[in-house]
Every structure is written in C-alpha cells, then in structure tokens.
Structure 1
Amino acid sequence: MPSKPAPPPAPTPDRDNPLFNQSLEKGLEVLRAFNGVHRTLTLSELAALTGMNKSSAQRTIHTLEALGYVDKHPQTRRFRLTPRVMEIGYNYLAADALIPVASPYLSQLAAASGETANLTEPVGLDMVYVAQLMTAKHMPVLTPVGMRIPMYCTSSGRAYLSTLPDEQVMAMLAQSTRAARTPATLTDPDAIFERVAACRRLGYACNEEELFIGDMGLAAPVVNSQGVTVGAVHVSPPARRWSMAEAQKKLAPLVMECAWAISRSIAH
C-alpha cells in the first residue's frame, strides 16, 4: 500500500450551513447543464435537467443572461452559453502554478513521442484536461482542455488512483458509474483495481480502447513536494498507429520520464 498521504476528498455541499448560498448553487447548476449533448436548451429543458421548478429556473437563467454568461436565440428562444463563461476556466488555468512548470516537459514529450502530450488534474471521480501539447499527427478523438474524463476507465485516472490507499481506491470505484463506454471498458471494480495495482509496479497505467474506440492511453502520476499526487501526464496513441505492446515499450518510458521531471520541478 502506498505511504503517500491522500489528497482531500471532493467537497460535499453543506446546504444546512447559513452561509451556503443556494442561488449561487442554482446558477452554477444551470451553467453546468450545457455541454456537448445539450448545446442549446429551452427553459423547460433547463428546469428538468437541474431539478428546479420553472419559476426558479427562469429567474436563474434571466440573471445569467443579464450578466452576459448566456444568451437567447431570438427565433428559437433557446439558450446557449456565451464566450464569457470561458473567463472562469481561463482564470483557473492562469492561476494554476503546475501548468507553466509542466509545459516545457510536455513539449519535450510530444516531440519525443510524436503524439499529443496531456496534463490532467483530479476533480471528484474524474480527471480534467488542463494542458495539452499537440502534434501535427491525426487524433481520432478531440480531447480539449477543460474536458472531463472518468478515472475508472482512463490511464490518467488509474495513474492517479495508484497513489491512493487501497480502501480509498475501492471506495472511489464504488462511487463511480463504471458504465461500459466501449465493448472493451472494464466495469468490475476488482478488475479495474488490478490495473491500478499494476501501475504501482510498472510506474505507468494503461487504457486500451476503454473510453473511445481506436484510442489508447499511457499515463504516469505527478507528485508534489508533500508526496500528494496533483495530476497525471498521458499520451493517447491511436490504435491505427500503435499496438499496445509497442506503445508500452516505446512510449511508457517517455511518459514516466516526463511525469518524474515535472514532479521533481514542483518539489523544489
């Protein structure tokens, strides 16, 4: 079992606290309702997705529209996010000290591997892309900065989980939906745990077409000076260009070296 301390768990809303602002919570829920599936939404759809009544949803969306975070199509009356929403995400990226430290090493990894190099950070049961150094080679799946991917079926998620105590890993797997994203997705907690344990032995984690068909992943954890894992480095070699055995032989050492270099840099 790893001796490194575990990071703090994801916060649980304390709605009974008199300082908790439910109006702000509703506003954030409305913003999160928009995604790649729900690019535009009617008022009724927003109410249904957020669990609000129509009156509450109307007040919330009106406020967000007045502040410039959403707008409404004059003919269809459907709401959509505006670019102003990106300010919030950009402010996080600008304030994240890990990203500028990691960027030159990600650039070296992309150049050495010929594949796009990525840095992800944990958020709840997911990993979020926070930096990406792309190459000119075709990528079968678009994974932009800001995209969330589940830990249970991704190399970066398993690399992160590999640094946590067994009990915490199993608890997080139990909380995960563990949906079969592809025919290759592992959904049994014990089977996933075996892949997590393998990462502890090898120093890197793998994912072979478990999240997207034709897309693989190799990742290694990034650890800060307190021994807490703060993220993971990964590459996603397409199955059309790589076999998993070849990727493990040629790319895994590069990924581990990159993660080690970033970890060493943030430890000083």
Structure 2
Amino acid sequence: MGIGEEQSSRSSLFNQSIEKAFAILELFGAQHSQLSLSEIARLSGMSMGSVQRITHTLEQLGYLIKVPASRKYRIGIKILTVASQYLEADLLVDCANPYLSDLSNRCLETVSLTEPSGLEMVYVARFTSRHYIPIHMPIGSRVPMYCTASGRAYLSAHDETTIRRYLEASELIRHTPDTVTDIDTLLEMILACRKRGVAWNNAEYFLGDINVAAPVLNGSGEPVAAVHVTAPGSRWTLDTALERLAPPLIECARAITKAARTRI
C-alpha cells in the first residue's frame, strides 16, 4: 500500500465494525500480550459496549482467547492462519527464498525480505544467521522506512518528490541517539543510497544494529520490496559491511527482481 492510501477517503461501503475489530487485534503484541476489557477500551478509545461485543465475537471465532487465570484476552493462534495465507499467496516470497538463503550462507549473517505497508516495511521472509543475533524480528514485524536500511532502499527507487512526500508524512522519532530526523538530511542520505546502489542504517533504530539493503523492482521498474543483511555492530563496522556485503546483496536483489518479473 502506497503513501496516503490508508488515510484515503472512505466510501459508503466502508464497514466501521470490521475496522474496530482489526483495531482491537492490532493492540496485542510484546508490549500488551494480555489485555482486559477496560484496558482494550482505554487503548482503543471505544465504548465498553463495543469492546464487549467485538471481543466476544473474536473469541468465538478463535482470534482472541480468554486466559482463565487472569480473565484477560490474548491473541489467538488462529490469526496465524490468515498471516500464513498471505505468505503462501505471495509470489515474491516464493521467488526470493532461494536467493535469500544463498545470500545468508555466503555472508553468514541474517538476511530478510521486507515489503512496504504505508510508511513502514514489513518482514515477509527471514533467514537467520548461525551466529548470535541480539535482536529478534519475526515475520510480520514492522519497521519505519525513514530510519531503516530496508525502508531507505525502497524509497531510493522512487523519484525525489515522492521520497520527500514519504518523509514529510512520517512521524520522525529519535529511536536512538543516532537516529536522523531532519528531512533534508534524510533526503540527501537516500539519494546517496541510490547512487551507491545500497542503503544503510547504523544504529538508528536499534543500538548496535547495522543493516545494508537493496531494492527489489517489478517488471515496470517500480520498487516492491527490499532485501537487507543484518550486520551486528559486535562483528561489523558500517564501512566493512558496505565493502563486503554490498556486492553479494546487490546481486541477490537483482536476481530476485529478474525472477519476480515473470511472476508478479
């Protein structure tokens, strides 16, 4: 989904009850693994009556589970069925997996494929390094575009006007002391990424986390995803990561682009 599409004007066909159900499901995560009805109402801004009806329905369908000990709700495993159906139907993931695996074996680090969703990138494939990984990013994790290598790689394949629109629409939060939040500086960085063929992020989202990324294009030359290699600061410097990881990374992204052109 492109910039602004999530906030596009709603037609008379838009169903607010479904919107509320998904809003409740999106409340659950590592920070809120279990929630009571009152907590859901407070976090969602919905009335207690609406929350009771929606949570009851989601529980009956298996998307929420009530924990007997706490009487709170947690996300149900059935939600994975919906997620797995996306991954099974995503031809890009199917095309990319062999190349991601090969790149991970070559560089001995974690390799991931992310796809754009609004102003974020979503993990859709991941091949984990045999070495220690300080940060766990499971499939479905979302990261902002402006301060991550995968997001900058995706943005670098757009024209300058579109890049600026994405940046201006983003909530530019300083996640670490090294996070760049100035729009003009970010634009310069992304254009430099385009010139080099890879994007990078040096501890701007997680401390000690270095990433190098390259865009994946469709048959029309438009960006549809990004491949990135995670290079922990305990084993890499940014300069070394760019020197050693960029060539095989670009080769991998180009191979996925070529394979995907016949299928997506």
Aligned to 1:3: none
What's the CA shift string for 1:97-120, capped at 9, x where partnerless? 001110110011001111011000
- Report the counterpart of residue 220 of structure 1 in structure 2: 214
The aligned length equals: 262
Higher mean alpha-carbon deviation, 151-160 vs 170-179, is at: 170-179
Identity %: 44
Q: Which runs of 5+ in 1 are unaligned?
A: 1-5
List aligned pairs for 1:128-139, cutoff 5 A: 128-139=122-133
Per-residue deviation, 1:14: 4.1
- TM-score of the aligned structures, taking structure 1 as reference length: 0.94
> Separation in 2 of the partners of 1:13 and 1:55?
28
Are residue 246 (structure 1) and residue 235 (structure 2) matched? Answer: no
Does the 8 Å CA contact 1:14/1:20 hold for their aligned counterparts?
A: no
**Whole-Å separation in 2 of the counterparts to 1:189 and 1:8:** 16
Indicate how the Cα distance of structure 1 residues 172 and 94 shifts in structure 2: closer, same or farther if over 3 A, else same. same
**Cα distance change of structure 1 residues 255 and 9 upon mapping to structure 2, 3 Å threshold:** farther
Q: Distance in 1 between matches of 2:25 and 2:126?
A: 24
C-alpha displacement at 1:199, in angstroms?
1.2
**Runs (4+) of structure 1 moved beyond 6 Å?**
none
Which residue of the partner structure matches residue 204 of structure 2? 210
1:128-167 pair list within 5 angstroms? 128-167=122-161
Aligned pairs for 1:108-127 (under 5 A) are 108-127=102-121
Amino acid at match of 2:85: N
Shift of 1:135: 2.2
Shift of 1:209: 0.4
Rounded to whole Å, the distance in 2 between the matches of 1:170 and 1:133 is 32
Q: Is the 8 A contact 2:216 2:223 kept in 1?
A: yes
Mapping for residues 228-243 of structure 1, pairs under 5 Å: 228-243=222-237
Quick check: 1:88 aligned with 2:82?
yes
Q: Structure 2: which amino acid aligns with 1:266?
A: A
Q: CA RMSD in A?
A: 1.4
Q: Give the alignment's TM-score, normalised by structure 2.
A: 0.96
Bigger mean CA deviation after superposition, 256-265 or 66-75 = 66-75
Is the CA contact 1:101–1:266 (under 8 Å) kept in the aligned structure 2? yes
Matches of 1:154 and 1:240 in 2, distance apart?
A: 19
Q: Supply the AA of the counterpart residue of 2:69.
A: Q
Q: CA deviation at 1:9?
A: 5.0
The answer to whether the 8 A contact 1:10-1:123 is kept is no
Which residue is equivalent to 2:39? 45
